[in-house]
Structure 1
Amino acid sequence: MSHLKLSLVGATALMGSFGFAASASAQAFYLQEQSARASGRAFSGEVADTGAASLWWNPAAIAGMTEGEAVLNATLIVPRGEVADTGTLIRRPGGTFAPVGGDAVTRNPINKGVLPSGAVAIPLGDRVAIGLAITSPYSFTTDYPETSWARYSALKTELRTIDIQPSVAVAVTDWLRVGAALNVEYTDASLANALPNVLATLPDGKQELKGDGWDMGWSAGFQMHNDVVTVGASYKSAIEHKLKGELEVSGLVGPLAGSNLSLSDVEARFYTPAQVIVGARFRLSDRFTLNGQAVHYGWSKFDAIRLGAPLNTAIPENYRDSWSLAGGFDYAASSKLTVRAGVQRTQTPTRDTERDARVPDADRWNYGVGASYQMTPGFTLDAGANYVTFSDAPIDRVTAAYPGTAAQTPILTSGELRDASALVFSLGGRLRF
């Protein structure tokens, strides 16, 4: 049985699908679209701004509030692009390398969807405030047809997270705010890929892994401010996710028929990255504010997917630490209307020669515009729109089905992410009470 389990795990790096790019995200599979206000300036000033809308980036943002605030946002993500075969080869047992076959181009494999988020903050006196943010920082769905050239790497993949962040913040002095929070995350994942049978004339088999789990991290931050400038910094810890679920393999025939199985209580562990966020807001006049923000992502913690009992193996991922840099502005056009814009540059944590069809991430530019309108003295409407462009990137990770067995089947992946972009539309409201 252990021989069969190892061969299945080695087929295509089962859990690598967690890295598939969420098209409008900061990078890899992190979604930063947690505020319509932030979206409009390309996420350039969040760690240094105030109110419940900035809780995800800095728990100190609510310190010193004098009234309660609730925020609700919804973001529509519409990705486009193609993942194309440029010469992928497969060698089945006893044969020679041959084209993998299947559809040579898969267009728009990342599903469009709506990302909700919300937060509430309540003052306890004039210096202390408590808050709660609910977000979904790692969520996406990708869907490759069973006839795709990338079928041995990915078919349908779904990842959902819910982050519940209770926070407390204190205005220590008139110029210093501090805050801390817990990040309680629920993760649910489902992923599938095809498995090659020993003959190309036989239909493919299939493997599917499902799992979920609850895990915890933390956040802390501070802000220093005067009448002209606010400087903010925060740290969000890495979170080790521990999922437990089921693995099912079906459709293998002939000498591989004994590898069909259904396992329960399969364990998987992986890390999502720590973030160090630093930024500032400069009030150049009563109407005009400049924003800047840098984020360092500790993606090197995502070095492997570790599969516990009953599989007991690890799958290398080898992500690298990476950065995003953003700049933007807010302009108060009137007493009720504020307009904003910004640009963000983000480096991918994926590496050439280790990028597969589940993870066609690439360096990107994010251009944002937006506005806020005070509908009533207690309610403000926020809107933002982003256009995200991705660099073309190779998909070139070498894998093997059934490694170390007589049925070992190397797959020399050669593909490319091409012409990828995304449109993102965010709408939110802020209610003061």
Structure 2
Amino acid sequence: MIKGFRAWLAMGAAGYVLACASSAAAGAFYIQEQSVKGAGRAYSGEVTDTGAESMFWNPAAIGRLEGKEVYNGAFGVFVIGEVTDEGSTLQRPTLNVPSALGTPIPGLPNGVTGLLSGVLPGLTNGVLIPTLNSLPNIALLPPQPVGGNPVAKNPIPKSIVPNFAFAMPVTDRLSVGLGINAPFNAITTYDGDSWVRYGAIKSRFLNINLQTAVSMRVNRWLTIGGGGNVDYFDATFSQMGPDLTAPFPDGKIEVKGSNTRFGWNAGAQVRPAKTVTVGASYRSGYKHHLDGDVTIYGFQGPFALVTSKQEATTNFDLPWIATGGVTVRPMRRLALHAQVQRFGWSDFDNVRVDLKGAGQLLPGALLPKSITVKEFYKDTTNVALGADFAVTDWLTVRAGAQKDPTPTNDLYRDPRVPDGDRKLYSVGTTVTPKPGMHLDLSAAYIKLKDSAIHSDQVLYDGTAFPMNLSLRGRSEGKGLVVGGGARFTF
């Protein structure tokens, strides 16, 4: 049996390396698909349930195990949607720069020469590049349409979400557990000629969370639990960048980075009566500092001078999660669930990229020291109701519904996470072909409320040539999530 457990552990770890870069199936880029059984009832009874696969929601869930339990499951996520342009514009600089700053360079717009002087020795008359403080205020041209394909279809690709958990009792009152989950993952992709190209091309969040838990059954009615988390986050962001003047083609900017942080989880379950269970838990947030690089390439006009690859650090915070719920069993075969989750999404207020080599590369004239994208996320609360009904000793059916508001802001929503309020409706079943073997299946339909893309950014902010980007559009979508998993007790 130990040999079999090792095989399951290896399968779970390998599955994460291959497949856990997935599409968001809850608010923003939070992935709640961590239990196939839980998915069948819309995640309405996880904080009060017993078993290894509920450990993600409450470490106290393993406190009443009578034997070892191993779980492995996976979800397929299918999202259909469109992101449509509704009047997006870009303002470029006029380039009316005094000629005293330098002599013209053949092939470059008049006035650019002086700003590039001293960057490439011998290219100009040797006039030193001016500091940003000495530059005149460069006026912007009137807003012009961003152009490109006005409709981006299915920006969220098909994906797989795996999950794994193991727990076992150590004594008659103490249990330990280990879980591998992917709570914050997302992929959105757009074509290089899309209308959103200056705001997003590819956004990929790969998150793997290793959870440990220790749970103690204090007495007949109280179980407590807690543990530590190891959170690995890998991210890739890319977008196109307009060159200084319209005739030149766009370049591309890509940011990559990874980081590991440590957190904690704690929870409790109270059983005031045989037919009632109340649960509560908390998972800490994370302050990630992703070490990686920024690559700039593809420019063929004046901005070709910034073609480079340099070290960078990306900083942002992931939210804490507080969960509470109750399960009532009005009859032996029926369980009714209600669960509430609160997310500290306001911690994810901005994403900042610090370019470590910007000052050495172009003294800040064409590359900023840092890039900050405001997100303005807000804290949210989702609510779920569901039920399990044991038809026979070997067949259980379940269903549930969840209302999950988006943390994104209507006045600041960017195309990287084109999210909206969600309603989720699910069904599921568990088949027990023999004692100790439980096979779970689930299916959920997700309806996303139409939402506005509303993002105002200053491209190249902090450089000599800032440009105003105003993205205005509409996002709509719906999704189907199907899951399958197996639980073994021994």
| TM norm structure 1 | 0.92
Structure 1 alignment gaps of length 5 or more? 1-20
Verify the 8 A CA contact 1:65 1:127 in the aligned structure 2. no
Structure 2 alignment gaps of length 5 or more? 1-20, 95-140, 357-368
Distance (Å, rounded) in 1 between the aligned partners of 2:435 and 2:212: 27
**Correspondence 1:295 to 2:341:** yes
Distance (Å, rounded) in 1 between the aligned partners of 2:55 and 2:451: 34
Query: Hey, what does 2:65 align to over in structure 1?
Result: 65
Query: Hey, what does 1:168 align to over in structure 2?
Result: 214
Correspondences of 1:224-235 after superposition (within 5 Å): 224-225=270-271, 226-235=273-282
Query: Hey, what does 1:44 align to over in structure 2?
Result: 44
User: For 1:219, which of 257, 265, 273 is the aligned residue?
Assistant: 265
Correspondences of 1:2-401 after superposition (within 5 Å): 25-94=25-94, 95-225=141-271, 226-264=273-311, 266-308=312-354, 310=356, 311-312=369-370, 314-401=372-459
- The 3-state SS of whatever aligns with 1:170 is strand
- The 3-state SS of whatever aligns with 2:29 is coil
Q: 1:257 to 1:24 in 2, by over 3 A?
A: closer
* Per-residue Cα deviation, 1:153-182 (whole angstroms, up to 9, x for no partner): 111222111110011000000110000011
Verify the 8 A CA contact 2:151 2:194 in the aligned structure 1. yes
> Runs of 4 or more off by more than 6 Å in structure 1?
none
Distance (Å, rounded) in 2 between the aligned partners of 1:157 and 1:300: 20
Question: Following TM superposition, by how much is the alpha carbon of 1:198 offset from its aligned partner in structure 2, in angstroms?
Answer: 2.2
Question: Following TM superposition, by how much is the alpha carbon of 1:309 offset from its aligned partner in structure 2, in angstroms?
Answer: 5.7
Q: 1:428 to 1:392 in 2, by over 3 A?
A: same
Q: When you count strand as a share of all residues, which structure comes out higher?
A: 1
Shifted more, 42-51 versus 250-259: the winner is: 250-259
- The 3-state SS of whatever aligns with 2:42 is coil
* Per-residue Cα deviation, 1:187-234 (whole angstroms, up to 9, x for no partner): 111121000012323211000011111111110000001311100000
Shifted more, 144-153 versus 22-31: the winner is: 22-31
Q: 1:298 to 1:22 in 2, by over 3 A?
A: farther
- Greater relative CO (CA pairs within 8 A, separation 6+): 1
Distance (Å, rounded) in 2 between the aligned partners of 1:256 and 1:177: 62
Distance (Å, rounded) in 1 between the aligned partners of 2:205 and 2:457: 23
Distance (Å, rounded) in 2 between the aligned partners of 1:405 and 1:169: 54
Question: Following TM superposition, by how much is the alpha carbon of 1:429 offset from its aligned partner in structure 2, in angstroms?
Answer: 0.5
Query: Hey, what does 1:3 align to over in structure 2?
Result: none
> Matched residue pairs, number?
411
Q: What is the root-mean-square deviation in Å for CA atoms of aligned residues?
A: 1.5
Distance (Å, rounded) in 1 between the aligned partners of 2:202 and 2:370: 24
Work out which of the two has the higher radius of gyration on C-alpha atoms and give 1 or 2.
2
Q: 1:404 to 1:306 in 2, by over 3 A?
A: closer
**Which letter maps to 1:428?**
G
Distance (Å, rounded) in 2 between the aligned partners of 1:309 and 1:102: 29
Distance (Å, rounded) in 1 between the aligned partners of 2:435 and 2:461: 65
Distance (Å, rounded) in 2 between the aligned partners of 1:343 and 1:299: 22
**Which letter maps to 1:393?**
S
